Amino acid sequence: MSVQEIHADLGGFNMIGRLLISCEDRPGIVAAVSRFLADEGANIIHSDQHSTDPVGGLFFMRIEFQLHGIEDHINELRTRFEQTAASFHMKWRMSCASEKKKIAIFVSKEDHCLQDLLQRFRLGELSADISMVVSNHDDMREIVKPYGIPYHHVPATKDTREEAAERHLSLLEEANVDTVVLARYMQIIPPVMIEQYQNQIINIHHSFLPAFVGGKPYNQAYDRGVKIIGATAHYVTEELDQGPIIEQDVERVSHRYQIKDLKRIGRDVEKLVLSRAVGWHLDDKVLVYENKTVVFP
Amino acid sequence: MSVQEIHADLGGFNMIGRLLISCEDRPGIVAAVSRFLADEGANIIHSDQHSTDPVGGLFFMRIEFQLHGIEDHINELRTRFEQTAASFHMKWRMSCASEKKKIAIFVSKEDHCLQDLLQRFRLGELSADISMVVSNHDDMREIVKPYGIPYHHVPATKDTREEAAERHLSLLEEANVDTVVLARYMQIIPPVMIEQYQNQIINIHHSFLPAFVGGKPYNQAYDRGVKIIGATAHYVTEELDQGPIIEQDVERVSHRYQIKDLKRIGRDVEKLVLSRAVGWHLDDKVLVYENKTVVFP
Amino acid sequence: MSVQEIHADLGGFNMIGRLLISCEDRPGIVAAVSRFLADEGANIIHSDQHSTDPVGGLFFMRIEFQLHGIEDHINELRTRFEQTAASFHMKWRMSCASEKKKIAIFVSKEDHCLQDLLQRFRLGELSADISMVVSNHDDMREIVKPYGIPYHHVPATKDTREEAAERHLSLLEEANVDTVVLARYMQIIPPVMIEQYQNQIINIHHSFLPAFVGGKPYNQAYDRGVKIIGATAHYVTEELDQGPIIEQDVERVSHRYQIKDLKRIGRDVEKLVLSRAVGWHLDDKVLVYENKTVVFP
Amino acid sequence: MSVQEIHADLGGFNMIGRLLISCEDRPGIVAAVSRFLADEGANIIHSDQHSTDPVGGLFFMRIEFQLHGIEDHINELRTRFEQTAASFHMKWRMSCASEKKKIAIFVSKEDHCLQDLLQRFRLGELSADISMVVSNHDDMREIVKPYGIPYHHVPATKDTREEAAERHLSLLEEANVDTVVLARYMQIIPPVMIEQYQNQIINIHHSFLPAFVGGKPYNQAYDRGVKIIGATAHYVTEELDQGPIIEQDVERVSHRYQIKDLKRIGRDVEKLVLSRAVGWHLDDKVLVYENKTVVFP
């Protein structure tokens, strides 16, 4: 039974719509939006908002609402919302919870994050269609097989980087992938892909950023003698490990821990942090501004 | 300089109103409320809501809004809101952030929670007027003195319990106290007082409830050999340690910890948990239903 | 490649011995033991000790030492240590790190703890031979298959409980199993098995004990409105959920969490807590006394 | 009642000695040391050890032992231990638990760490004699007064830095101060003082080092959009915020937190981290090597 089939059995996403908004803050936004939804016959289930400053700041909002037949009429609904959106100069997007995002998981040689994601999808903890797993190695093929997900081995060395990028992009485009998850994919993502998937590529960095940017963060942590290690999930931007942080978590360590122990402990933190970030992203709970995130968990 | 004078200098609460609502969930509530506020010229700064179930569940909402002149017109505003409230059968309350709650702190012989609260008030972390400190001992008088807060020593033994309760109630009433904080006040609160201050008496229990109800929880924790200890802030109800939980936190311990170590570690957890719960209560961020709390932090 | 073969590749346990001691505290124990080891040519790598009270208390000690050829001479070493042990009335045991414990994993219908344990064994995080997986259902057979571990389906209903217990014991005895891990095995363990495997059966209970003993702890937690949930790994004794606690951990929740969310969050805590407890047990890092544990992590 | 008088009442440190050792690892160290102590009639209460590598690594040990009359004979004991120490080329120190360290607390304008330390000393949580509080401002004089501790106001501007340093050193020397605690003392410590008090000056830095070195770490954390903030206690070395880390802790934050909220939350973390680090230092539980610490908590 594939992940897709299992999810179809789960239900629970029918008739649920999501509306994400960001604009300059001023009086009347909530009233206008909730009036629009009420007039459409929608019931607001969850609503979160945030203002960076009530006077002249930015306003962010996420509304989850229930509306019969939204799946068949989302485009009309979008059209009708345009007027409200325009009057507040909103950036916005509206989606059906039942329209699952299509994701690609990129992985290298360490499989703990991949395995963890696959199991969460199987258990219905994460709501998406996994379109493919992509790796610069062939090692994970057997792990992915039982899930019925296509596996693409795309070698990526210094010399083949450009070809690899082209192959990646054509794979993603063919499958209409929305979101790329770098599940310990230890390769540089080329600017062309970052541009095309802005705030759609999630990376797990195995340190508590901004500490220990770059390679071998556990070695750096060991050398510095820190008493706590961490992991950071962030959107990928052109500057290495500098993108908007979605989630972080930490674990306590001591002088007894060798580098291999930090790696072992770290694996558990990485898995948890990445799966939380991916889950929030899939549920449209993350908004990005000024290289930061607003997360409505 | 008294706590009150320092707070007057802080400002920041002017023109801010808060509206708390609970009712049965049905479409249109948010639209009606936000329309009302927009029509009044108010700008919504924060808004949180929660539904126990979108179909036939309970709906909770807290809105923080900015409105010029609210301090002078809050009563008219309340009157005008009544119609909206009635059409949804709401339980609701509306307040000005600048109208600070009046609190009484009850304490026995351990002073760490009292000291912590006093310092947070001094630093402006908690927004209230401390009307009095009440104790069954005279020990804390000198600690309270520099803060310019009235100190009432009301002895409370088995025989004088009734007199003490009467004295407490008349002290609270004279000073128009809204909220009672039991900062490690190790005495039973009589039903008459609990009834009069429903969901207005906050207690700190020195265990991770519902584990270790009653006296000497650290001894119980030691005997059971737990690996984590905790503290719980809750509203006081007639059943001992059974009231709605506002906040909990924990700290890791090990076999090395003697009972005195658990008490020492526990003090830090108690202080943090109580101050968070008191802060949320003072900012009208806690709603109670079915012996549980909805906290909009 | 089987788990056993992978482990054989890891090495690192050669020449390592472990000595665990408990006795009444009195001067000279450490000197006698470390003198014995020095005379044998052993180098102490780790040493932990604990006294419940320096005067008339209990003394616990765990020593990890390096000794060439210990694998071939452990029995002579044990014989030679007897004199030292007798002079302090020690309870003690000595083992080689390379002699892995044989464990049986019991599981019902939820697979997250089983999967987590299997992966940690595969990654070499846990050092044991998994002799078998036992279940009252046949559902996990496919999950276990790739690991090359025998799977025994032993139905256990009310009526067949006695037969099941006999079958369990004969399976465990045939395979010389040392340790039983109940990885969410939701069945009562009969007294005969508890007696035979005293402090060798590890259970994961899905609450922060002693809160929420018995079945459906997440429902209990939801009803009580706690702000933190937890999990507890403990040795199984005849009284349900009352055995010595090895490890506990917690995760923060809020009013937004439905029971299904508590279960989802809880799975991650359960996995971490159980794997830590099993790891410490396998490395002989847990000593039991008076229904508590001393853990030298 | 002064802190000193209160502590005298506490007792519990009599007859307790501590021995700290570091040397190259090789067989027989524990045997030799424990034999020495047994021959002296001492009973080992706690013992911790750590090897960076059993082959050719460094060995660290801390032993707490009970010995009648140690207070009167510590110097003879030290002399007798010299032979054992020499045979393993140990660096070592031996102390009586009853000989409290003399500490100076340096503070600027923020008083939360100072207040926290003073209360912990009053409660007997920290075992030291506070010889003085030193500040570049006069603001804290009233806070310190009730504790009966000398308060020295030593202005420190760019121009008077050298004079200030001289004054500091002469104050510390006159009072035989062992340990300097920088409780949010926002001034550079001159090299001459660092050299004289090597691994004896503890600073609290208000970030999770190595993230956010230097001034205004909460502003840096806000700008980077981190989801967790922290604090770090470390020994002061010549390179700013680069000294050996003794303790760290963190607290979760979100997009809702303004810089002032990070500062407020941060104060609680700073207090806890600093007090733990100071406590371990006072109890001789911290050993330094290669710009890292071994902490035996």
Residue A4's pLDDT band (cuts 50, 70, 90): very low
Q: B-chain residues within 8 Å CB-CB of A12?
A: none
Q: What is the largest CA-CA distance in chain B?
A: 63
Q: State the average pLDDT over residues D46-64.
A: 88
The CA–CA distances, whole Å, from A280 to A62, A193, B167, C251, D283 equal 12, 22, 53, 18, 45
The answer to whether residues C32 and D44 touch, using CB atoms and an 8 Å cutoff, is no
Residue D2 has pLDDT above 70, yes or no: no
* Mean per-residue pLDDT over chain B, rounded: 92
**C46 bridge partner residues:** C64
Q: Does C44 touch chain D (CB under 8 A)?
A: yes
**Residue C230: exposed, middle, or buried by beta-carbon count in 10 A (0-12, 13-18, 19+)?**
buried
Q: Does C34 touch chain D (CB under 8 A)?
A: yes
CB pairs B-D closer than 8 Å? 14
Instruction: Return the minimum-mean-pLDDT range out of A24-33, B11-20, B220-229, C132-141.
Output: B11-20
Tokens 């930090």 locate to A262
Domain A101-295 is found in CATH 3.40.50.170: yes
Residue C7's pLDDT band (cuts 50, 70, 90): very low
CA distance D113 to D277: 12
pLDDT of residue D54: 65
CA distance B165 to B176: 16
Residues of chain B with CATH 3.40.50.170: 101-295
Q: pLDDT tens digits, residue range C153-194? A: 999 888 888 899 999 999 999 999 999 999 999 899 999 999
Q: A-chain residues within 8 Å CB-CB of D228?
A: 208, 230, 248-250
Residue A54's pLDDT band (cuts 50, 70, 90): low
- For chain A, how big is the Rg over CA atoms in Å? 21
Q: Does C294 touch chain B (CB under 8 A)?
A: yes
Q: pLDDT tens digits, residue range D124-173? A: 999 999 999 999 999 999 999 999 999 999 998 888 888 999 999 999 99
Q: Where are the alpha helices (DSSP H) in D112-190?
A: 112-122, 141-144, 161-174
**Chains contacting C (3 or more CB pairs within 8 Å):** A, B, D
Tokens 């047990």 locate to C281
Estimate to the nearest angstrom the gap between the alpha carbon of A280 and the chain centroid. 6
Q: A-chain residues within 8 Å CB-CB of B47?
A: 30, 47-49
The answer to whether residues A253 and A224 touch, using CB atoms and an 8 Å cutoff, is no
Beta strands in C115-244 (DSSP E): 128-135, 151-153, 179-182, 201-205, 228-235
Residue B112 has pLDDT above 60, yes or no: yes
* Whether A248 and D226 lie within 8 Å, measured CB to CB: yes
pLDDT of residue B221: 97
Cβ density class D176-209: b for 16+ within 10 Å, e for less: ebbbbbbbbbebebbeebbeebebbbbbbbbbbb
Q: State the average pLDDT over residues B66-71.
A: 93
**Chains contacting D (3 or more CB pairs within 8 Å):** A, B, C
Residue B226 has pLDDT above 60, yes or no: yes
- For chain B, how big is the Rg over CA atoms in Å? 21
Instruction: Return the minimum-mean-pLDDT range out of A80-94, A153-167, B163-177, D190-204.
Output: A153-167
Q: Does C41 touch chain D (CB under 8 A)?
A: yes
- For chain C, how big is the Rg over CA atoms in Å? 21
The dihedral of CA B56, B60, B66, B72: what is its sign?
A: positive
CA distance C235 to C245: 7
Helix (H, G, I), strand (E, B) or coil at D125: coil
Q: What tokens appear for C168 in the block?
A: 């369990």
Q: Does D244 touch chain A (CB under 8 A)?
A: yes
Residues of chain D with CATH 3.30.70.260: 3-96
DSSP string, B243-283: SPEEEEEEEE--TT--HHHHHHHHHHHHHHHHHHHHHHHHT
* Mean per-residue pLDDT over chain A, rounded: 92
CB pairs A-C closer than 8 Å? 12
* Whether A34 and B30 lie within 8 Å, measured CB to CB: yes
Tally the residues of chain D: 297
Q: Does C226 touch chain B (CB under 8 A)?
A: yes
Listed residue (B89, B93, B167, B87) closest to B134, CA to CA: B167
Instruction: Return the minimum-mean-pLDDT range out of B256-265, D53-62, D64-73.
Output: D53-62
pLDDT of residue B151: 98
Long-range contacts of the stretch C152-160 (C-beta < 8 A, 24+): C156/C187
Q: pLDDT tens digits, residue range A109-155? A: 999 999 999 999 999 999 999 999 999 999 999 999 999 999 999 99
Establish whether the linkage from the previous residue to D210 is cis, with ω within 30° of 0.
Answer: yes
Q: State the average pLDDT over residues D42-56.
A: 85
Q: State the average pLDDT over residues D5-9.
A: 37
Whether B159 is catalytic: no
Q: Does D122 touch chain B (CB under 8 A)?
A: no
Tokens 């996994």 locate to A130
Residue C1 has pLDDT above 60, yes or no: no
CA distance D36 to C251: 47
Tokens 């009850």 locate to B106
The answer to whether residues D137 and D109 touch, using CB atoms and an 8 Å cutoff, is yes
Alpha-carbon gap: B129 to the closest alpha carbon of chain D (Å)? 20
Q: Could you tell me what percent of chain A has a pLDDT over 90?
A: 86
Domain C3-96 is found in CATH 3.30.70.260: yes
**Chains contacting A (3 or more CB pairs within 8 Å):** B, C, D
Q: Where are the alpha helices (DSSP H) in C88-160?
A: 112-122, 141-144
Alpha-carbon gap: B182 to the closest alpha carbon of chain C (Å)? 20
* Whether D37 and C31 lie within 8 Å, measured CB to CB: yes
Name the residue of chain B whose CA is nearest to C53's CA: B258
